[in-house]
Structure 1
């Protein structure tokens, strides 16, 4: 007890005898604290590891029932006995199937991802039209802010403006994920006439094959010259209704060709899924910015607010941009 008092008196006495050193020590401690505060990651809610592996398989043109039978059930069967799985949940939607595999806490996710990917890649019974499976560890994310555009624009104008603004938001240094809600996806509908097929002696399978083969970009190799190598590529992917209508379905010996537009009605529009999004009783589209692990939500939302204030004056007449659902406040 006496020793403690002696030490205490000794430290205080030393500081009293050396005020410059004591003040210098205090400044160092304060500077270290300020540096630590600046470097601390700021979050509205704490982040947790997801410990979930997602398997997504696009299956264009399929119904939810076809996705369930052809994609979801086969993926579940392939991974169900992987060690460490806690729960498997699946979704079968029009044109895509998703399987979410939750692992037990503490599971080595890289090893689990490799095992699940090997199982999925080994499935040979997926439908022929199914695209390559995408297998990855689900990324944690939380919506940081919503920005809504509203005004008197057509659906196509809203879609084009929203895509443009999304690209601008992703160019901000603190923003990495932005989604668009309230507009439908582009869709090209091809209605083939049975009478036209009979007239030209074609089948529906021939038309589908012609569209599939002629609407794609293909590599053509390289041409080596004295000045260097030239990459050759056939660019014929169709993107608009007019481009699809101009696809050649049948070429005859006399040089005439039957175009898709001659035997079908091609409509360039949006998918049939109903979407209703309104702000202040006007049509609207919403851009949602997400915070992912490691990002500073305060810096992100501040950058978004500044961008929105500057962008308001550049919008078309009658269109407004509002910020809402700010998770930083």
Structure 2
């Protein structure tokens, strides 16, 4: 049997060589387009939603946050299971979909449903956080920004770079570390505050009421429905200084009459250093199924493009670049295949 096959292949050697050449071309094309990873990429059909709400009890979180979300999310296409968890200061929803789910479509549908549910959230509830679960949830490259530039300049550059990286097709998310969140700090003159007969609680209520997005219900059209909110978020110091507190006779007392506002930073929750210097770090996590080698090239290209707009005092370095390990592994594999082909 085997002897007959060998003789047939020898008699039709041109056909055999042609088939081998075609298969080799297709094999090379497939190899060049395969995703390169150090670990297998396993798609996980899970999506989580977290809604922070400082000060809320588990009972109130279930009533005010979990139930509106469950009402909207239960109609999602392909939803297999939904679990809601209410804890102190937050509420979480965990969604499981069919294994054949389309992650981009699912995330789009989830965001739309969450936006509809937010119209029934309390005003003090924070922005919902929607996360795509991924087995390979570790960063594939880290970006370190350091130098002698002012902290505010570096923070602004890091935020802009973070937004740019999250638009790349192979990037799932980015985590910014080492940066302190910028805030507006109101400094009150006790003497002027007492003269205007304004209490600390009145001042806090005025600022809190005027720094939030106010739900205005849902707007229905012929084809769709979406939530409407009235913007009322403080964006610059003058917005706070102009806030009215109370009327004292014919005079309207504002925040600017009893205090001052300045930009500052929150106390750091984590300190990041690189080569002994204060650093802003950006950890980049890849999207499921993305090619790490191609994603690293896109990340480095985006950083190089953004760096052209930065002052020369901001320097950039890369850490734990996973593509370097993959390239070394591929080089060993390719050399082994070439040697085996020559020997055979």
Normalising by structure 2, what TM-score?
0.65
Question: How far 1:105 sits from its partner (Å)?
Answer: 10
Runs of 5+ consecutive residues of structure 1 not aligned to the other structure = 221-232
CA distance in structure 2 between the aligned counterparts of 1:100 and 1:149, rounded to whole angstroms: 35
CA distance in structure 2 between the aligned counterparts of 1:129 and 1:171, rounded to whole angstroms: 29
Alignment of 1:303 onto 2:298: yes
Tell me which of 17, 21, 34 is aligned to 1:40.
Answer: 34
Runs of 5+ consecutive residues of structure 2 not aligned to the other structure = 75-79, 217-228, 325-344
Alignment of 1:97 onto 2:90: yes
Aligned residue for 1:241?
237
User: Does the 8 Å contact 1:72/1:97 carry over to 2?
Assistant: no
User: Does the 8 Å contact 1:277/1:284 carry over to 2?
Assistant: yes
CA distance in structure 2 between the aligned counterparts of 1:168 and 1:53, rounded to whole angstroms: 23
Tell me which of 161, 165, 173 is aligned to 1:165.
Answer: 161
Tell me which of 285, 289, 295 is aligned to 1:294.
Answer: 289
Aligned residue for 2:223?
none
Q: What is the number of residues matched between the two proteins?
A: 293
Task: State the SS of the aligned residue for 2:138.
Answer: strand
Task: State the SS of the aligned residue for 2:176.
Answer: strand
Aligned CA distance change for structure 1 residues 282 and 132 (closer, same or farther; 3 Å) = closer
CA distance in structure 2 between the aligned counterparts of 1:143 and 1:154, rounded to whole angstroms: 27
CA distance in structure 2 between the aligned counterparts of 1:132 and 1:304, rounded to whole angstroms: 27
1:21-60 equivalences in 2 (<5 Å): 21-59=15-53
CA distance in structure 2 between the aligned counterparts of 1:69 and 1:106, rounded to whole angstroms: 33
Question: How far 1:158 sits from its partner (Å)?
Answer: 1.7
Alignment of 1:275 onto 2:293: no
User: Does the 8 Å contact 2:141/2:284 carry over to 1?
Assistant: yes
User: Does the 8 Å contact 1:76/1:99 carry over to 2?
Assistant: yes
User: Does the 8 Å contact 1:144/1:289 carry over to 2?
Assistant: yes
Question: How far 1:288 sits from its partner (Å)?
Answer: 1.7
When Rg is computed on C-alpha atoms for both structures, the one with the higher figure is 1
Task: State the SS of the aligned residue for 1:44.
Answer: coil
CA distance in structure 1 between the aligned counterparts of 2:243 and 2:318, rounded to whole angstroms: 44
User: Does the 8 Å contact 1:181/1:287 carry over to 2?
Assistant: yes
CA distance in structure 2 between the aligned counterparts of 1:31 and 1:316, rounded to whole angstroms: 48
Task: State the SS of the aligned residue for 2:207.
Answer: helix
CA distance in structure 2 between the aligned counterparts of 1:275 and 1:29, rounded to whole angstroms: 54
